[in-house]
Homo-oligomer: A and B are copies of this chain.
Amino acid sequence: MRLVIARCSVDYSGRLNAHLPLATRLIILKADGSVLIHSDSLSYKPLNWMSPPCSVAIEVPEEDAASVGVEEQWRVTHAKTGDTLLVRIYEVIHDSAHDLGVDPGLQKDGVEKHLQELLAEHPATLAEGLTLVRREFPTAIGPVDLMCRDAAGLSVAVEIKRRGDIDGVEQLTRYLELLNRDPALTRKGAVTGIFAAQEIKPQARVLATDRGIACAVVDYDALRGLDDPSHRLF
CA distance A107 to B19 in the complex (A): 5
* A33-64, CB < 8 A from B: 34-36, 38-52
**Is the pair B96, A94 in contact by a Cβ cutoff of 8 Å?**
yes
B residues near A42, Cβ cutoff 8 Å? 32, 103
**Is the pair A40, B31 in contact by a Cβ cutoff of 8 Å?**
yes
**Is the pair A19, B234 in contact by a Cβ cutoff of 8 Å?**
yes
Shortest distance from the beta carbon of A168 to any chain B beta carbon, whole Å: 11
Chain A interface residue bracket vs B: 35 or more
Q: Which of A22-30, A130-138, A150-158, A180-188 contacts B (4 or more CB under 8 A)?
A: A22-30
Given A17-B109, A104-B21, A167-B167, A30 and B46 contact (CB-CB distance below 8 Å): no
Number of copies: 2
Contact of A49 among B40, B44, B93 (CB under 8 A): B44
Shortest distance from the beta carbon of A8 to any chain B beta carbon, whole Å: 11
Q: Quick check: is A194 within 8 A (CB to CB) of the other chain?
A: no
Q: Quick check: is A204 within 8 A (CB to CB) of the other chain?
A: no
Given A94-B96, A108-B17, A103 and B41 contact (CB-CB distance below 8 Å): yes
**Is the pair A103, B43 in contact by a Cβ cutoff of 8 Å?**
no
B residues near A32, Cβ cutoff 8 Å? 40-43
Contact of A40 among B24, B40, B44, B103 (CB under 8 A): B103
**Is the pair B106, A20 in contact by a Cβ cutoff of 8 Å?**
yes
A35 nearest CB neighbor, chain B only: B43
A42 nearest CB neighbor, chain B only: B103
Q: Quick check: is A170 within 8 A (CB to CB) of the other chain?
A: yes
B residues near A107, Cβ cutoff 8 Å? 18-21
Q: Quick check: is A233 within 8 A (CB to CB) of the other chain?
A: yes
Shortest distance from the beta carbon of A197 to any chain B beta carbon, whole Å: 13
- Give me the 6 closest cross-chain CB pairs, A-B, nearest first: A34-B43, A16-B110, A39-B103, A40-B100, A32-B41, A31-B40
**Would you mind naming 14 contact pairs between A and B with Cβ atoms under 8 Å apart?**
A3-B26, A15-B110, A17-B108, A17-B110, A18-B107, A18-B109, A20-B104, A24-B99, A30-B43, A35-B43, A43-B50, A43-B52, A47-B103, A170-B170
